[in-house]
Amino acid sequence: MKALWLGILLTGFTSIARAAEPAIRLDLGAGTGIDLLLVPAGEFTQGSPPTEPGRGADEDQRLVRLTYSYYISRTTITRGQWERFIAETGYRTEAEVGNSGGYGWDGNALTQRKTFTLKNPGFPQDATHPVCLVTYPDAQAFCKWLEKKAHRRTLLPTEAQWEYACRAGTTTPWPSGSATTAWHKGNSGNGTHPADSTPSNAWGLVIGGNVSEWCLDWYAPYDPNALTDPRQENPNLSDKSRRVLRGGSWNRDPKNTRSAARFRADPRSRNADIGFRIVCDTDVIAPAIVVPVDAAPIHLPILEESAPLPVPSSFSFHSTAGSIDQVEHMIPGWLCLLIPIALVAALIRFAIRRGSSSSNRSMPSRPVPPSMNQQRGVRMVDNGFWIQSDWPVGTPVHLSYLVNGVMEQHTLVYQPSSQGQFVFTGVRPEKVTISGSGAQPPPLGSSPPPFSSMHGAMHSQSQRPPFRPSAY
């Protein structure tokens, strides 16, 4: 009971502190950090009108609604920020571990050489310049590292998130009105410049020009219909599978730095004019409270995934703490002052959720497919799984899930939203077992799961597919 009340208190405190700040800084250590700015939810017209000079044929306009706010890095990721990643992980980019290097500047054009890597793009850089010569998997590796370090879900921006943030409420070709505020082929001097060396847009972002930026989407023609939170996940709608690039670069024409301009590249491309920026959720991933358990396994059905389920703005996450005493020991003294407030908030939330089955007072922060409100069980998605059950709020739940051949075992307090409770695992789990108090999870299968190139390609050169040698 002591553990359960502590979990409720901490949950209440988390909800009180959830209001998103307009700007935050993620500490990377050694005096280095990443500044993130809040982008509010809203609607905008993606693409460009037929009369816009320099527009591409793939920029047909459509109405897009983004239903949740998000943080986006103020600039592209810099050499200094990347070097913190290297210092903590020892990661080496695909250009560094490959036999052919990357595409750097030889004085006349981008040329592939063994010596061209992010450390030597063919022009001088310092820690303030955007990192370049990184592939899509390289950028994903950075996001995974930052997510664990910052306790916030971290991804590359979708194409819609990127353009919405770049426009900052404008409908002109450039957020500033002209290409003169972006580094491009006509003014860059054949190389990058400091990531914050051009004026920011109305939302404080330095965006457009300098380096092209990886986005999550596969490149494809736009769906002309009005869409909500769009992300193109089909890689087979173009002449070959390529990821979206946005922003133009020091090696591209001025028209490529427009807000609506689209480009694409093989995700394994390693070019001296490609970099990236990151987006983060507004909520911190809270660790689950470990509680005593003692009951028989409760096996919920595995539901078929009929459509991608939106990721919630708050997560259940696991903790390495071995007992509730350890958790209590880690609570700073000042937190005790907030316990009365947190207790009141938690009791209010508890009362609302008990009545939510008839009144629907607890609204999801993001859209929920109707099927989730009628089905009970476990629904696995690309970065975790959802639990939907009739358990009372506060029920201790033991989790066993298989991820990349490793069986993880954790316990949390069941605190669902209206779409259920989300458990973040980073990748899609191969197997999930949900148990009540005390039961041991079933033994791990004898054969490991197949390697997932999407989630694992960034970790081992031997597991990467052969590189397709193309600058774009």
452 three-state secondary structure: coil
Residue that has been written with the tokens 């009005």 in this structure: 226
For 371, other C-beta atoms within 10 Å of its C-beta total 14
Residue that has been written with the tokens 């791990």 in this structure: 444
- Environment class of 233 (CB within 10 Å of its CB; exposed 0-12, middle 13-18, buried 19+): exposed
- The DSSP annotation for 27-48 comes to EEETTEEEEEEEE--EEEEES-
Torsion sign (Cα): 109, 111, 115, 119: positive
Q: Are 386 and 331 in contact (CB under 8 A)?
A: no
163 and 45 in a common domain: yes
Residue 392 pLDDT: 85
Residue 385 pLDDT: 82
Q: What CATH number should be reported for the domain holding residue 237?
A: 3.90.1580.10
In a domain, 469, yes or no: no
pTM (whole model) above 0.85:
no
202 and 267 in a common domain: yes
What residue ranges in 389-457 does DSSP mark as E strands?
396-403, 406-413, 421-424, 431-435
415 and 276 in a common domain: no
330 and 256 in a common domain: no
Q: How many CA atoms lie within 13 A of 397 on its CB side?
A: 30
32 and 6 in a common domain: no
287 and 267 in a common domain: no
> Which residues constitute the domain of residue 164?
20-282
In a domain, 326, yes or no: yes
Residue 436 pLDDT: 56
Name the β-bridge partners of 279. 72, 155
290 and 204 in a common domain: no
Closest CA to 273 of 193, 371, 387: 193
Q: Which bin fits 232, alpha (ψ -120 to 50), beta or left (φ > 0)?
A: beta
CA 409 – CA 52 distance, rounded (Å): 55
- Give the contacts of 442 (CB within 8 A, at least 6 positions apart): 297, 400, 433
Tally of structural domains, the chain: 2
Tokens of 268: 């394994």
CA 203 – CA 453 distance, rounded (Å): 36
Residue 467 pLDDT: 43
Distances (CA, A) of 178 to 33, 254, 292, 293, 376: 30, 9, 62, 63, 53
CA 269 – CA 275 distance, rounded (Å): 11
Q: What is the largest CA-CA distance in the chain?
A: 71
In a domain, 470, yes or no: no
In the sheet that holds 377-381, the strands lie side by side as 286-287, 316-317, 421-424, 384-388, 377-381
Domain boundary among 282, 314, 334: 282
Residue 406 pLDDT: 79
Tokens of 224: 């002309």
Strand 377-381 and strand 316-317: the pairing is unpaired
Strand 243-246 and strand 262-265: the pairing is antiparallel
CA 292 – CA 288 distance, rounded (Å): 13
341 and 273 in a common domain: no
Closest CA to 314 of 1, 16, 39, 37: 16
The tens place of each residue's pLDDT in the chain, 472 residues long, gives: 444 444 444 444 443 345 689 999 999 999 999 999 999 999 999 999 999 999 999 999 999 999 999 999 999 999 999 999 999 999 999 999 989 999 999 999 999 999 999 999 999 999 999 999 999 999 999 999 999 999 999 999 999 999 999 999 999 999 999 999 999 999 999 999 999 999 999 999 999 999 999 999 999 999 999 999 999 999 999 989 999 999 999 999 999 999 999 999 999 999 999 999 999 999 998 665 544 444 445 455 665 544 444 444 333 333 333 333 433 343 445 445 555 565 655 555 554 444 443 333 333 334 333 333 334 688 888 778 888 888 888 788 878 888 877 787 777 777 777 667 878 777 788 888 887 543 333 333 333 333 233 333 333 333 334 444 445 5
267 and 295 in a common domain: no
In a domain, 176, yes or no: yes
Q: How many CA atoms lie within 13 A of 64 on its CB side?
A: 24
CA 411 – CA 286 distance, rounded (Å): 13
In a domain, 460, yes or no: no
> H or E segment at 215?
strand 212-218
Domain boundary among 258, 282, 306: 282
In a domain, 466, yes or no: no
Q: Are 313 and 284 in contact (CB under 8 A)?
A: no
292 and 186 in a common domain: no
Q: Are 61 and 44 in contact (CB under 8 A)?
A: no
161 and 94 in a common domain: yes
212 and 361 in a common domain: no
CA 127 – CA 28 distance, rounded (Å): 14
3-state helix, strand, coil in the chain (%, to 5): 20, 25, 55
In a domain, 468, yes or no: no
In a domain, 445, yes or no: yes
Domain boundary among 282, 306, 331: 282
